[in-house]
Amino acid sequence: MNDRYDSVILHFVVRVVMIPLIIVFGIYVLLHGELSPGGGFQAGAIVAAALLLVRLALGNRQAALRIPQGLLIWLACIGLGIYMFGGILPLILGANFLDYAPIPVEWYNQFAGEHRTPRSMGIFIIEFGVFFGVAAVLVLIYDLIAGSSRQ
Amino acid sequence: MIWWLELSLFGLLVVAALIALSVRDMIAAVATLSVYSFLAATLLALMGAVDVALTEAALGAGVTGVLLVGAVSVVDRRTPD
Amino acid sequence: MKLLMLAFLAGLVALLVWASADLPDRADPHAPANQHLSPELTEMTESEVVIPNLVSAILADFRSYDTLGETFVIFTAGLAVLLVLQRSRRVPEEDGDE
């Protein structure tokens, strides 16, 4: 697992075809979480699968898409922080915890040209939090297992 | 609903589970487990639970297989049982 | 013993197949499981959370405490793996120093 296989076909397929396709699909699933099947959890798992595919196919010493461990922990914390932000923002604005009704959306609708209700805006925020948390934790677990097996 | 498609998928599911239990090579067992998860995802998509199918395909067939390969690389690859 | 276990398993499979004949059809709106809370949640999704995906509305809006707990569970799993595997990597160095 630690040594990379010198196969041109494997390198080409993984680098050029699979990785961009999987990451773009994951971001699509994240951004269209309210419109089509998917959401933050699925998108995080898909993007983490793409990052793990790099490590599995090209070896663990592969420099591309190698995220340092501290940054992964920070990303997981930032994901939880985004989720808690989506919960506490309505609390500040005078509603219950995680009750998205008072979230202001007019600026976003004018900025993006969409017609979002406050509740779907809250779902949008929360899915970003779940996305960062899941993707970072899955990659972190694999990096730790692979790092402990290197000795 | 296409009943013979679901029935054959269920049969393949059971066959994949039995192979994953009985095979000696751990990497082969992990790969068969991924096949099992993918068949389960196909069945869930046929049942109309597309969200669950997407989660099963991404987590069960993708990430879990990779994590188990990482775990197998730590321990011995051959198993006597 | 193995024959007894096989007979028991065959009996169990037969019992489950026989019981599954009484189950309602999948996605039947008149099934008892779909009568209790699902109509209200579907109507609330259409009237308050105006999004097409009902599953996302339930997971991230009506049941968002569950999703918060799920995120915490995953985060805690990552922290547990971090603590366990990092310690196992640091111990031989300390032994070598002393």
As given in the structure block, the two tokens for residue A48 are: 């983490």
Instruction: Please state the domain count of chain B.
Output: 1
Residue A2 lies inside a defined structural domain of this protein: no
Spell out which residues of chain C touch residue A142, defining contact as CB-CB under 8 Å.
Answer: none
Instruction: Report pLDDT digits (tens) over B1-45.
Output: 678 888 999 999 999 999 998 988 888 999 999 999 999 999 999
Number of domains in chain C: 1
Asked if residue A28 is part of any domain, the answer here is: yes
Distances (CA, A) of A139 to A42, A114, B55, C87: 14, 33, 17, 19
Domain span at residue C91?
52-98
Domain-located, residue B10: yes
In a domain, C70, yes or no: yes
From first to last of its 98 residues, what are the pLDDT tens digits of chain C?
Answer: 889 999 999 999 999 999 988 888 777 778 887 788 888 888 888 888 888 888 888 888 888 899 999 999 999 999 999 998 885 555 555 554 43
ipTM of the predicted assembly exceeds 0.85: no
Residue of C nearest to B49 (CA): C55
- The answer to whether position C20 is within a domain reads no
Residue B73: its chain A contacts at CB < 8 A? 1-2, 146, 149
d(CA A125, CA A1): 37
Mutate to test the interface with A, among B56, B63, B67 (most CBs of A within 10 A): B63
pLDDT of A25: 92
Neighbours of A33 (CB within 10 A): 30
Given a contact as 3+ CB pairs under 8 Å, which chains touch B? A, C
CB-nearest to B58 from A2, A45, A146 is A45
Residue B79, in any domain of the structure: no
Q: Is residue B50 part of a domain?
A: yes
* Total of domains in chain A: 1
Domain ranges, residue A127: 8-149
Does residue A18 belong to any structural domain of this protein?
Answer: yes
- C25-57 burial: b if 16+ Cβ within 10 Å, else e: eeeeeeeeeeeeeeeebeeebeebbebebebbb
Count of residues making up chain A: 151
Domain containing B32 equals: 3-73
**C60 within some domain:** yes
CB of A5 closer than 8 Å to CB of A15: no
Cβ B73–A29 below 8 Å, yes or no?
A: no
Closest CB from B50, B55, B70 relative to A142: B70
Inside any domain, residue C46: no
Weakly modelled stretches of chain A, pLDDT under 50: 1-2, 151
